[in-house]
Amino acid sequence: MDYHAFLAAWPQVYLGRGLADDPHLCLTFDDGPGVVTPAVLEALDQLGVTATFFCLGEAALHRPDMVRAIVAGGHEVGSHGHSHLDLRQLSAEVFARTQVLPSIRALEDITGSEVTLFRPPYGEISPAQVEWLASEGLTLVGWSVDPQDWADPEAPGHVSRVVGEITRKLHPGAIVLLHDGDDGDTSRASIVEILNELVHPLRHKGYTFVKAGHMLRRRGVAMTT
């Protein structure tokens, strides 16, 4: 996803980063809820951090209690599509009918709250699909820091590599891409250790942790709270 191109064309539809006027950042989690989500929620609670979770509709229907736990923990949920597809292969009509609307309906039925945030799998989306999101009042959320935490999460040194990547690329208003969804038999348990090693040093540097909705409100985009 080309952040600059999307921001220029759709400044009120696309959020790729927050304002750079103070050191704040948003942790986001894709592909869940998964097996590791309860441990992620427990770690975030202990650390006093709220985050944004982009849930797959299929995963949400499989683990509705986890979606409710995300919201109960003070976090927010957005749609990551119904299944994890490269959406560019779909027409805007099929994109809406098979991926966005079913996932949003599932999340809203589970949480009882309106869902207005959408992040496409792989960050890939077509201009026609962006136009449809705009027509429906939905916000496309990207990221500005991708530490590739999904890559070989059981490898030695994985935690220090991911924490180092985030720290190196971090900037005020950063949106950090992380994952809590299942990936076959691969364990994503290391995400909890990543959070435990990441949060306190960043707080010491003056960073605060906010949700994507907070960034939108600060940018002046009307959004249901």
Q: Which residues are catalytic?
A: 30, 179
Phi/psi region, residue 137 (left: phi>0; alpha: psi -120 to 50; beta: rest), is left
CB contact at 8 A, 96 and 135: no
DSSP string, 188-224: -THHHHHHHHHHHHHHHTT-EE--HHHHHHHTT----
CB contact at 8 A, 9 and 158: no
Q: Exposure string (b/e) for 72-98, b if CB count within 10 Å is 16 or more?
A: ebebbbbbbbbebbebeebebeebbeb
3-state class (DSSP) for residue 177: strand
